[in-house]
């Protein structure tokens, strides 16, 4: 009975992570002097280092396994460091709407492709239906949010911006997959996430040093930076790692399409923005995606969840340790 509820628990924890990540845009509005790159560096960099410190004991206990799997660890850490740089560069070159839609929307598809090619996992009809609904909703929501804005990108930067958005989506999919692969080899979820994000966070420290001076210009800016590192990144990725031990990376990245829904709703309620009808339609499609993905699996559609559950059995109780 407990094993039957593990995938649902994993889905719930990834959904909590997406909700926490969705607060970053609204939080950033309280520090307008801080550049998006600095926000990304303090969030992913500072949050990653704190996650490693919090999980230091578990990382030491799993040091032998982590050393044995160093290619996955290094690949994941590089992906963590590249992701925020590619994401924000994509928005700067192609515009906020296109950059966000390409970066976040491409991750589930790229994650599924990685699992198909490297893990041999088959794409189920349920996942394809849910991903289709989610991507359509993401597109509608992105277009609605950008409908009243002055384009922030340039024509010459469109193609490079889209390519950088795809790179951001690929790195997001990669660090999700490598973290899950470490868990498959018996590394506890917090050790896998802490080591991956700790190294990635250290790689982002030079970027933070160069761009982060405005974070120290006022108590408000410092509070925003601390919130970004502690809540969306530290707590959010702890939840995400817990979920990854129980569901596939492609399912997890699809569920995180809920992040822009949270961001849009907070922008309406707190910032006072208006969302057109197409945006609400997009939110409806993303919610339908979540219902489709989280519905109880039957028959062949259970195979991916069974594969994810085998991670926990292989790692023993360490995967679910607090």
Is 317 within a domain? no
Q: What is the pLDDT, as a whole number, of residue 300?
A: 43
Distance in angstroms (rounded) separating the CA atoms of residues 246 and 6: 6
Residue 156, both tokens: 């010459």
| Residue 301: inside a domain | yes
First to last CA, the chain: 21
Residue 259: φ, ψ to 5°: -55, -50
pLDDT of residue 250: 83
pTM score? 0.83
What is residue 154's predicted lDDT score, i.e. its pLDDT? 54
Instruction: Give me the pLDDT at residue 208, please.
Output: 94
**Is residue 308 over pLDDT 80?**
no
Place of tokens 């994650």: 111
CA 316 – CA 223 distance, rounded (Å):
39
Give the span between the Cα atoms of 304 and 322, in whole angstroms: 25
Any domain includes 73:
yes
Within 13 Å and on the Cβ side, how many CA atoms surround 101? 19
> Structural domain of residue 240, as residue ranges?
2-312
3-state secondary structure of 213: helix
Q: What letter does residue 269 receive in the DSSP assignment?
A: I
Q: Residue 280 — very low, low, confident or very high, per pLDDT cuts 50/70/90?
A: confident
Structural domain includes residue 244:
yes
User: pLDDT digits over 225-272, tens only?
Assistant: 999 999 999 999 999 999 988 888 888 888 888 888 888 888 788 877
Question: Do residues 75 and 180 make contact, with C-beta atoms less than 8 angstroms apart?
Answer: no
- Determine if residue 248 is left, alpha or beta; phi over 0 gives left, psi from -120 to 50 gives alpha, anything else beta: beta
How many structural domains are present in the chain?
Answer: 1
- Rounded to whole angstroms, the Cα distance separating 28 from 42 reads 12
Inside any domain, residue 321: no
Q: Is 157 exposed, middle or buried (0-12, 13-18, 19+ CB in 10 A)?
A: middle
Q: What is the pLDDT of residue 155?
A: 59
* Any domain includes 319: no
Q: What residue spans of the chain are helical by DSSP H?
A: 2-21, 24-28, 36-40, 47-54, 56-61, 63-68, 70-94, 96-114, 125-146, 158-184, 189-211, 219-228, 236-244, 249-255, 258-266, 277-294, 303-315
Lowest mean pLDDT of 57-61, 221-225, 305-309, name the range.
305-309
What Cα–Cα distance (Å) separates residue 280 from each residue in 135, 148, 232, 258, 268?
A: 14, 15, 24, 13, 11
Q: Which two tokens stand for residue 36?
A: 């998006």
Query: For 122-159, how does the pLDDT look when each residue is reduced to its tens digit (9 = 90+)?
Result: 877 888 888 888 888 888 877 776 555 545 455 567 78
Q: What percent of the chain has pLDDT over 90?
A: 40
- Give the number of C-alpha atoms closer than 13 A to the C-alpha of residue 18, restricted to the C-beta side: 24
Q: Show the tokens assigned to 248.
A: 């596939």
- What residues have CB less than 8 Å from 146, skipping those under 6 apart? 95, 96, 97, 98
Give domain status of residue 228, yes or no. yes
In a domain, 320, yes or no: no
How would you classify residue 299: left for phi > 0, otherwise alpha for psi between -120 and 50, otherwise beta? left
């Amino acid at each position: 009975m407990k094993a039957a509820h593990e995938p649902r628990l994993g889905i719930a924890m990834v959904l909590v992570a997406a909700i926490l990540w969705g607060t970053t845009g609204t939080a950033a509005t309280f520090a307008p002097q801080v550049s998006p790159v600095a926000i990304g560096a303090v969030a992913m960099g500072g949050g990653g280092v704190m996650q490693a410190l919090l999980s230091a004991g578990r990382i030491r206990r799993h040091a032998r396994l982590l050393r044995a799997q160093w290619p996955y660890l290094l690949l994941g850490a590089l992906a963590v460091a590249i992701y925020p740089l590619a994401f924000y560069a994509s928005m700067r070159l192609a515009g906020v709407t296109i950059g966000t839609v390409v970066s976040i929307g491409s991750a589930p598809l790229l994650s599924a492709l990685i699992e198909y090619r490297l893990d041999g996992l088959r794409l189920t009809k349920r996942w394809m239906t849910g991903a289709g609904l989610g991507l359509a909703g993401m597109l509608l929501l992105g277009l609605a949010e950008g409908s009243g804005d002055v384009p922030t990108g340039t024509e010459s930067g469109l193609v490079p911006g889209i390519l950088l958005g795809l790179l951001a989506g690929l790195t997001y999919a990669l660090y999700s997959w490598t973290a899950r692969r470490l868990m498959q080899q018996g590394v506890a979820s917090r050790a896998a996430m802490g080591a991956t994000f700790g190294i990635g966070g250290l790689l982002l420290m030079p970027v933070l040093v160069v761009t982060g001076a405005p974070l120290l210009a006022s108590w408000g800016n410092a509070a925003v930076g601390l919130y970004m590192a502690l809540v969306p990144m530290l707590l959010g990725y702890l939840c995400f790692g817990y979920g990854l031990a129980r569901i596939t990376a492609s399912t997890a990245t699809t569920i995180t399409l809920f992040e822009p829904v949270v961001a849009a709703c907070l922008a309406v309620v707190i910032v006072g923005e208006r969302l057109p009808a197409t945006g609400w339609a997009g939110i409806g499609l993303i919610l339908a995606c979540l219902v489709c993905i989280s519905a109880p699996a039957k028959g062949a559609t259970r195979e991916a969840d069974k594969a994810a559950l085998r991670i926990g059995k292989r790692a023993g109780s360490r995967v679910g340790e607090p």
